[in-house]
Chain A
Amino acid sequence: MSQVVVEVGCEELPAHSVRPACEALLDLLAEAIERVGLSEGQAEGRWYGTPRRLIAVFDGILERQADREVERRGPSKAAAYDSEGNPTKALLRFCRGAGVEPGAVEIRDDYVWVRKLERGRAAVEVLAEEIPAAIRKIPFDKTMRWGAGRMRFARPIRWILALVDGAVVPFQVETVPSGASSRGHRFLAPDPFEVASWEELAEGLRKRFVEPDPEERRRRIVEGARSVAGGVPVLSEELVDENVYLTEHPVAICGEFRPEFLELPRAVLVAAMAKYQRFFPVEGEDGRLANRFVSISNGGDPESVRKGNEWVLNARFNDAKFFFEEDSRRTLDEFLEQTERIVFQERLGTIRQRADRLADLAGRLAEEAELEERLVGLARKAGLYAKADLSTGLVSEIPALQGKIGGEYAKREGFEEEVCMAISEHYAPSLKDGSPGGRLATITLCADQADRLAGFVGIGELPSGSKDPYALRRAMGWLIDAQIAWPFAKKGVVDWIVEAAGLYREQGFELKDDLTLSLSAKEILEGRYELLYAELPHDALDAAWAVAWREPSHQFDRRVRFLAEIGKDTAFVRLAKRAGNIVSAARRKGIEVPERVTADDIDSNLFENEAEVLLYEAVQRADSRMSSLPADDFEGRVEVLRGLREEIEAFFDNVMVMADDTERRDNRLALLSWVDNLARTVADFGKFVIEGE
């Protein structure tokens, strides 16, 4: 059994791309190894990675492919021999290509066949084709070219190590040939060194100030930060993760900044440290920020690096303080008026115009949520001021502070606590927060995202493929999440968007008509639902979507999950789809069957058979029972449908629906359509796929 090691050495890759790239490299190689028959069963590998290297390792690989017998089909018997039974040119050509004598072919099923033994190739030889192909296929969200090359990759490739049991797998990617050497830390051990196995590579790297295993780096970062902080470091998972992939040799360093900067709002300090410097803020025991930070260096002399870190952080805070003081000369009202100068989108006007719409929409949503009158007023206020901070100096300097700064300045001016919280949190509220401020933050978020969707969808700026420049899919995701987390909505998200579009039109903007708008929004919604319910059987989602895509997401969520369960009851699904199947088959033949059936659509005088009469009566009863059930009582509705089992089965056993007498036929189809109407209050059961049917 052999070991395969691949290391792709690059100039520093974007931190967020390292893990997905390593995973992709591993998957691509595993797929290749299995496909070419170099593993017994599944190829089991593992990956390691740093900003400068993507590594995949496989043990238990076959040294060569097994020999195998291959069969090739040649010309048809008729084309292979002439009338006298002599081989034709076609046959001779085929035999030459296959490397056999015409006498060695077999004839089967009217075709000529040859059988050949194909010798398995050595792993080194096969992988020399597969490894470069895998490297080229690693997907990145953004790629580049470099030098005079044609290849696209996230950053330039500098070296490639590719070994099977210590032997180099020979190939070249762009101008870089594969080899047996790797490199250590960029500054501390830059010279190439040769290895023969993963074990030697790992040891060699560790000796050269590179920890290849991200989990080990994570441990060092977390433990290092805790031990040097002199307080409690704020270790957000995201920031730890980023530091894991920004370093090969992480060392935690603690520094201080000038205490006077503690007067700045916490959000400003945290953003400057965490977002811009990738430093961890440090809290004292009382939970307040201390004038300390932890940085994760990638080597260097700790004292020298600490000094540099302090220098840059003090400079950044100094900048922030400058803007904070400049801003304090103005009120939020003045900032709001200045948003007149900030464009939202060229065809969608300014942020100031947007503020009026958000106020209006937030107010309407608060009413929809049946909040008390005071809070409805505050929702309007939160909507109006939510974007005012976009014209502040501090936000133009640190855009990540959008919302936070507005909330901070609102507090300074004595705005209601709920409004401050809504402004502050509306970019990413915790949707389950049931406090009045939390609710207003959710409502402001919904107004913001619905307005964004209405605007961009309304001017036809739709996401396509991997492109979603206005983050509309994420906006839709927020609306769905909000509706599910706090089920106040009486309308679905598409109708919110239509409502938001109305507000644009009131301001004189021209958007696409409501139907076009709904259809585009529906498409984005469908994509998000597919993502959200990827774990559930797809037919459950289809069955729900077909009848209820427009309903509020919390109800849709219950419906899909209910259907995923009920879908396992194939006997019931068969029953529930039976009537609908006949009706749709008839419609496909061009027969008109009423969509929404009432008792008036059915003429009981046309019945010939008792089973018809019994089903008719049972459906009437079922209909009236269903209309007394709440729309989302799916369990109750299914019970009613189950109650029709005997009558439905008797009907199909005894009644010929597609009778020659079209009047009777249509009457029966209408009756079945009525049954289907009832089923469709839960789902389009026809979408369920029953295995083997």
Chain B
Amino acid sequence: MTFQELIRRLDEYWAAQGCCILQPYDVEVGAGTMHPDTVFRSLGPDPFRAAYVQPSRRPADGRFCRNPMRNQRYYQYQVILKPSPDDVVDLYMGSLQAIGFDVRREDVRLVEDDWESPSMGASGVGWEVWLDGAEITQFTFFQQMGGIELDPITAEITYGPERLCLMLTQGHSFWEDLQWNDEVSYREINFDLEYQHNLYNFELADTEMLFRLFEMYESESRRVIETPAVYDPELGRHTIAPEAGSEEPLFLVYPAFDLALKCSHVFNLLDARGALSPSERAAFINRIRARARACCLRYVEMQKAAREPKTPASSRS
């Protein structure tokens, strides 16, 4: 089993379950959950199903490629099912069969594990899935996002594709045993990137610049989320008009959220660099949450407004 074959099989399986196969989000994130298609689409009533690979960055987890199963940049395979179907667990088990595990031969267990992401104001209830004692998946029923109680509930399934691939091949190390395809190894694709980022994250990153960046991203995110756009019939599109009072303003939640994600990544770099005192650390997490939450609240607000019967067609582009 190669890494790309594993992902191909997961794509195929989940596509057959009606999931959009999306592409990774193009901003650094700590986990697949932070992809806006998970964060925003778990809010509000609309059904949604998607699956995607998300490269995820956790600078403090870097081990200079000396730990066989831990990187600062690794992959998550993420599935979102909204509302969570009654047979969601059975569907998941089907995916294990699809990638080559025989669930009747192995010992597959759902072990209580509730998940939370303080910087996104997100929390859920669920399990870690164990296969012969090895954690292979985080399985979560989201209960809150951006601090907002969800309805309906979204099921999130997050696989660790590197580990799954290792288990299927009885390998021991990402760096020694994983094949990307039959010719090229995971090491050839990722080793240098991983190694160099470790050096940058732990030793070289300019903390003063990072502090400044955090402030800049944060205030830009705030400015964006507080600046409405209104529909201009002459232009035939929305335009930024901070002073104009409008019944149906458009708030730019996507750009504002990207900036919140930037804050989160900068924070992670500062943390890896050891530049944050303990109380600062907690305060930074609160600041990121405040930005993410502001985006979520606006998103829900606009969705609600769009659903109201009197909404003039003009307010939707």
A: residues with CB less than 8 A from B are 11-16, 51, 142-149, 155-156, 158, 175, 186-188, 246, 277-279, 295, 297-301, 304-305, 307-309, 311-315, 318-319, 322, 341-343, 346, 350
Contact flag A147-B85 (CB < 8 Å), given A246-B111, A301-B105 = yes
Instruction: Chain B residues near A16: list those with CB within 8 A.
Output: 112
**Closest B-chain residue to A145, C-beta based?**
B153
Q: How many A-B residue pairs have CB under 8 A?
A: 125
Q: How many angstroms from the CA of A126 to the CA of B76 in the assembled complex?
A: 51
B277/A341 in contact, CB under 8 A: yes
A278 and B132 CA atoms in complex are apart in Å by 11
Q: Do B106 and A308 touch across chains, with their CB atoms under 8 A apart?
A: yes
How far does the alpha carbon of A497 sit from the alpha carbon of B60 in the complex, in Å? Answer: 37
Q: Tell whether A313 pairs with B133 under 8 Å between CB atoms, given A175-B86, A246-B111, A322-B67.
A: yes
> Contact at A146–B84, with CB atoms within 8 Å?
yes
In the bound assembly, the distance between CA atoms of A576 and B216 in angstroms comes to 75
Q: Is there contact, CB below 8 Å, between B131 and A343?
A: no
Q: In the bound complex, do residue B131 and residue A308 qualify as a contact, i.e. CB atoms below 8 Å apart?
A: yes
Contact of A14 with B133 at beta-carbon distance under 8 Å, contacts A147-B83, A300-B104, A341-B278 already known: no
- A301: chain B residues within 8 A (beta carbon): 105-106
Contacts of A295 in B (CB 8 A): 133
B199 at the A interface (CB under 8 A): no
Instruction: Tell me which of A143, A187, A322 contacts B66 (CB under 8 A).
Output: A322
Complex Cα distance A342/B281, Å? 10
B43 to chain A, nearest CB (A): 14
Residues of A within 8 A of B155 (CB): 146
Bound Cα distance A375, B153 (Å): 58
B68 lies within 8 A of A318 (CB) = yes
Q: B134 near A: Cβ within 8 Å?
A: yes
Q: Are B69 and A346 in contact (CB under 8 A)?
A: no
Residues of chain B within 8 A (CB-CB) of A149 are 153
A142 touches B133 (CB 8 A): no
Is the beta-carbon distance between B153 and A146 smaller than 8 angstroms?
yes
The distance in angstroms between the C-alpha atoms of A107 and B132, with both chains bound, is 76
**Residues 178-191 of chain B, each 1 if its beta carbon lies under 8 Å from chain A, else 0:** 00000000000000
> Which residue of A148, A311, A341, A342 is within 8 Å of B83 (Cβ)?
A148
Interface centre among B107, B114, B152, B155, by most chain A C-beta atoms within 10 angstroms, is: B107
B84 pairs with A147, CB closer than 8 A = yes
* Contact indicator B134/A188 (Cβ below 8 Å): no
| B105 with A304: CB separation less than 8 A | yes
Q: Check if B153 sits within 8 Å of A312, measured CB to CB.
A: no
Chain A residue at smallest Cβ distance from B283 = A346
Interface hits, B62-85 → A, CB 8 Å: 63, 66-70, 83-85
> With A12-B127, A147-B153 in contact, do A311 and B106 touch (Cβ < 8 Å)?
no
Residues B150-197 near A (CB distance < 8 A): 151-153, 155, 167, 170, 172
How close is A27's CB to chain B, nearest CB, in angstroms?
A: 23
What is the minimal beta-carbon distance from A14 to any residue of chain B, in angstroms?
4
Tell me, yes or no, whether B304 is within 8 Å of chain A by CB: no
B143 proximal to A (CB < 8 A): yes
Q: Is B282 an interface residue (CB 8 A)?
A: yes
Q: Enumerate chain A residues within 8 angstroms of B133, measured Cβ to Cβ.
A: 277-279, 295, 308-309, 312-313
| CB proximity of A510 to chain B, nearest CB, Å | 15
Contact A305 B134 (CB under 8 A): no
A and B contact pairs by CB, cutoff 8 A, 17 listed: A144-B124, A145-B141, A149-B153, A187-B104, A187-B108, A278-B133, A297-B107, A304-B105, A304-B106, A305-B132, A308-B167, A311-B134, A311-B167, A341-B274, A341-B277, A346-B279, A346-B282
A300-B106 in contact given A305-B132, A319-B67, A350-B278 (Cβ < 8 Å): yes
- Chain B residues closer than 8 Å to A186, beta-carbon distance: 93, 108
Q: Counting chain A CB atoms within 10 Å of each CB, which of B66, B125, B274 scores highest?
A: B125
* Closest residue of B by beta carbon distance from A312: B134
Can you name the residue of chain A whose Cβ is closest to the Cβ of B132? A308
- Chain A minimum-CB-distance residue to B282: A346
Determine the residue in chain B with the shortest Cβ distance to A17.
Answer: B112
Please name all residues of chain B whose beta carbon is closer than 8 Å to the beta carbon of A313 when the two chains form the complex: 133
Q: Is the CB of B107 within 8 A of A299?
A: yes
B residues neighboring A (CB under 8 Å): 63, 66-70, 83-86, 89, 93, 103-112, 114, 124-125, 127, 131-134, 141, 143, 151-153, 155, 167, 170, 172, 274, 277-279, 281-283
CB–CB B141/A246 < 8 A? no
Q: How long is the Cα–Cα vector from A143 to B141 in the complex, in angstroms? A: 11
Q: How far is the CA of A688 from the CA of B86 in the complex (A)?
A: 57
4 tightest A-B CB contacts, nearest first: A308-B132, A343-B278, A14-B112, A144-B125
Residues of A within 8 A of B153 (CB): 144-149
Contact partner of A308 among B86, B104, B134, CB < 8 A?
B134
How far, in angstroms, from A278 to B134 measured CA to CA in the complex?
11
Please name the residue on chain B nearest to A16 by beta carbon: B112
Are the C-beta atoms of A145 and B281 separated by less than 8 Å? no
Rounded to whole angstroms, the CA-CA distance of A350 and B277 in the bound complex is 9
Asked whether, in the complex, the Cβ of B107 is within 8 Å of the Cβ of A11, the reply is no
Chain A, Cβ-Cβ closest to B66: A322
A314 CA / B143 CA spacing, docked (Å): 35
Q: Is the CB–CB distance between B141 and A144 below 8 Å?
A: yes
> B132 contacts A315, CB within 8 Å?
no
Pick from B86, B93, B111, B131: contact of A147, CB under 8 Å: B86
Q: Is the CB of B132 within 8 A of A300?
A: yes
Q: How far is the CA of A112 from the CA of B69 in the complex (A)?
A: 82
Cβ-defined contact, A319 with B69, below 8 A: yes
- Tell me which residues across on chain A come within 8 A of B279, comparing CB atoms: 343, 346
Q: Report whether A187 and B167 are in contact in the complex, using a CB–CB cutoff of 8 Å.
A: no
Please indicate the chain B residues that have their CB under 8 angstroms from the CB of A298 in the complex. 107, 109
A188 proximity list for chain B (CB < 8 A)? 104
The distance from the CB of B213 to the nearest CB of chain A, in whole angstroms, is: 22
Give Cα distance in the complex from A305 to B106, angstroms. 6
**Given known A-B contacts A146-B153, A322-B66, A307 and B170 have beta carbons under 8 A apart:** yes
Contact of B107 among A51, A144, A305, A341 (CB under 8 A): A305
Known: A142-B114, A350-B278. A148 touches B104 (CB 8 A): no
| A629: min CB distance to chain B, Å | 52
- With beta carbons under 8 angstroms apart, the residue of A277, A315, A322, A342 that contacts B172 is A315
Q: Which residues of chain B are near A304, meaning CB under 8 Å? A: 105-106, 132
**Residues A142 and B125 in contact, CB atoms below 8 Å apart:** yes
Contacts of B83 in A (CB 8 A): 147-148
Instruction: Please name 14 further chain A to chain B contacts, defined as beta carbons within 8 Å, in addition to the given A12-B109, A309-B132, A314-B172, sorted by A numbering.
Output: A146-B141, A147-B83, A156-B84, A186-B108, A246-B111, A277-B133, A301-B105, A307-B132, A307-B170, A308-B131, A313-B133, A322-B63, A343-B279, A350-B278
Measured CA separation A313–B110 after assembly (Å): 18
| Chain B residues closer than 8 Å to A312, beta-carbon distance | 132-134
Picked from B66, B112, B125, B281, the residue with its CB within 8 Å of the CB of A343 is B281
A408 to B104, CA, bound (A): 42
Interchain CA distance A266-B155 in the complex, whole Å: 39
